[in-house]
Amino acid sequence: MNYILGISAFYHDSAACLILDGEILAAAQEERFTRKKHDPGFPSHAVAYCLKEGGITLKDLRYIVFYDKPLVKFERLLETYLAYAPKGLQSFVAAMPVWIKEKLFLRNVLAKEFVALAPELKQSELPQLLFGEHHESHAASAFYPSPYEKAVVLCMDGVGEWATTSAWLGEGNVVTPLWEIPFPHSLGLLYSAFTYYTGFRVNSGEYKVMGLAPYGEPKYVKQIYDHLLDLKPDGTFRLNMDYFNYCTGLTMTGNKFDDVFGGPPRKPESTLTQREMDLARSIQEVTEEVMLRVTRTLHRETEVDYLCMAGGVALNCVGNGRILREGPFKGIWIQPAAGDAGGAVGAALTAWYRYDDQPRRSVGTDRMKGSYLGPRHTNAEIEQFLESASAPYELLDDEQLVDRVAQDLADGKVVGWFQGRMEFGPRALGGRSILGDARNTKMQSVMNLKIKYRESFRPFAPSILRERVSDFFEMNTDSPYMLLVAPVQKKRRLPLLASQSGLWGIDLLNVPRSEIPAVTHLDYSARIQTVHEETNPRYYRLLKAFEAHTGCPVLVNTSFNVRGEPIVGAPEDAYRCFMRTEMDVLVLENCVLYKTQQQALVSDTDWQKEFELD
């Protein structure tokens, strides 16, 4: 038996993945264990979990594979400094201590971390340590678990070692590079520049820009093309670096950027204005155009009918939806952990297929197991915790559970839903979710302001029974990972009333747009999760029970966390989040808790200071 451990670490979203003979057994992000959002540290907890899930120790591993090449990244840092010297001295000096202390000698750092996990081993007794390439790890994570025998692969992110955009051909057990666009020309960093400029945090606020875009007008598209981005008909591009500061300074944009867009960046947490909404809409439209042009070119050049995607830009589900609807491909598949965390999956699978030359055959479905690859907790473990916390609960069998919770949801209650294995990737998919009634006109504002403690404009996603998706949305394909946006069916939409026709921007927030207003965005779109009985039978049964109660097969599904906190990982995290918000019901496997029956947590009046708001 060949066990391989993949690792991504030291930049953001550290993670570990364990495979056995090419099958993914376990994968998890370190943040879920440490409770540090986007934790970049060595994923010791995630590694320990993966080994435990596999029932093995470090000695049983054939390879440990790191997802990129730190020395090549260092080469890029040096060359960038030399290209801009002496202008980039400040950022160069800021980066050097970490590189000299850790990243240049990463092999030794990793060996010490693994020995700390298994003190009985000497460094010389550790499994062989391999290093992949960043975009190759992304490409492998997209193609190898996909349902396709042959596909073209597109990877777009901020930057790996040098590549920011790369194209690959996946066929059988081989992923072959086609071409790449090098740093500093990066669609991911262009989007991050606007994330920074509109007052959100880079590497975590990009999805806020995407959610804000429908409230604005594309007023700045021309300025982006005229000043910032030279976009070719084939989708390749170059940035005008005079307007950006990420090569030479400690911010994303510079003074010339401010001059083009009418002033300095918005200060974080300050009031959002129409300018930010228009900026968000503009960069979103430009991003979609680049994605469409590149994918059309790839189809034309390769004549391959299927597309796989990974990298941070692949989390832009609005762009993905347009590729599906308007592009030439018969099907697309996106790695659910498309960012750096997913690099751990790709690194492990690359070693399996390349170094052992193992055959790969598509089976018509993807091999991510619904992305339910994290830890699970038994009812016995949960009951032990609840009794230690003196928390009143009921233990129900499965049939009683789904019927009771479906009725609670139909009655307008907000439910914390904790069951099965934890999801791998940034989306809650019915394992660690907060649920609500999609028909409820007040549910979006209640969840944003009283549960998630986040900006009111943020949209929520629908979970829907796979067989009912085309009844509610202009789409009839699998979307199990909540990575495709599609319009709500016209027959489900609600027209604007005469009294609402003059509203604009954020004023339209509380205007119901469809029969399922809690999951319908301003532009009648929704980020869809299709729920499949094969991968999440209990969540599927809950949706069926809710449909039986209400006639509606759609629920609001948002991640089980509050703003600034990672998605909950353990029952203790879920209980704490439940008690610190205005959630009504908590479901921990078969244990059901009601807020009205709980005692307040002790010394918990200032809990929000624990979390770094972003």
2 pLDDT higher than 90:
yes
List C-alpha distances in Å: 406 to 403, 546, 555, 559.
5, 5, 10, 19
**Helix or strand (DSSP H, E) at 210:** helix 206-212
Q: Does residue 354 or residue 336 have the better pLDDT?
A: 336
Q: List the one residue out of 283, 323, 298 whose CA is nearest residue 485.
A: 323
Fold adopted by 379-610 = DHBP synthase (3.90.870)
Question: Which residues of 83-209 form beta strands (DSSP E)?
Answer: 128-131, 150-156, 163-171, 174-182
Q: In which region does residue 267 sit, left (phi positive, over 0), alpha (psi from -120 to 50) or beta (all else)?
A: beta
**Can you say how many angstroms the Cα of residue 609 is from the centroid of all Cα atoms in its chain?**
25
pLDDT bin (cut points 50, 70, 90) of residue 492 is very high
Query: Per residue in 421-448, pLDDT tens?
Result: 999 999 999 999 999 999 999 898 889 8
Q: List the one residue out of 339, 330, 325 whose CA is nearest residue 292.
A: 325
Helix (H, G, I), strand (E, B) or coil at 421: coil
- The token pair that represents 4 in the structure block: 């391989």
- Give, in degrees to the nearest 5, the angle at Cα 137 between 131 and 140: 130
Q: Do domains 181-334 and 379-610 have the same CATH topology?
A: no
Q: Which of 177-186, 354-363, 486-495 has the lowest mean pLDDT?
A: 354-363
Instruction: Please name every residue paired with 129 in a beta bridge, in sequence order, or none if there are none.
Output: 64
Are 351 and 537 a contacting pair, CB within 8 Å? no
Are 444 and 277 a contacting pair, CB within 8 Å? no
Domain ranges across the chain = 181-334, 379-610
Instruction: Please name every residue paired with 163 in a beta bridge, in sequence order, or none if there are none.
Output: 182
Fold adopted by 181-334 = Nucleotidyltransferase; domain 5 (3.30.420)
**Helix or strand (DSSP H, E) at 582:** none
Query: Per residue in 240-267, pLDDT tens?
Result: 999 998 877 778 999 999 999 999 999 9
Are 298 and 154 a contacting pair, CB within 8 Å? yes
Model pLDDT, residue 270: 93
Model pLDDT, residue 613: 36
Alpha helices, DSSP H, located in 358-496:
379-388, 398-410, 443-446, 469-472
Query: Per residue in 392-413, pLDDT tens?
Result: 999 999 999 999 999 999 999 9
3-state secondary structure 273-287: CHHHHHHHHHHHHHH
In a 10 Å sphere around its CB, with 0-12 CB exposed, 13-18 middle and 19+ buried, how is residue 149 labelled? Answer: middle
Q: Does residue 602 or residue 192 have the better pLDDT?
A: 192
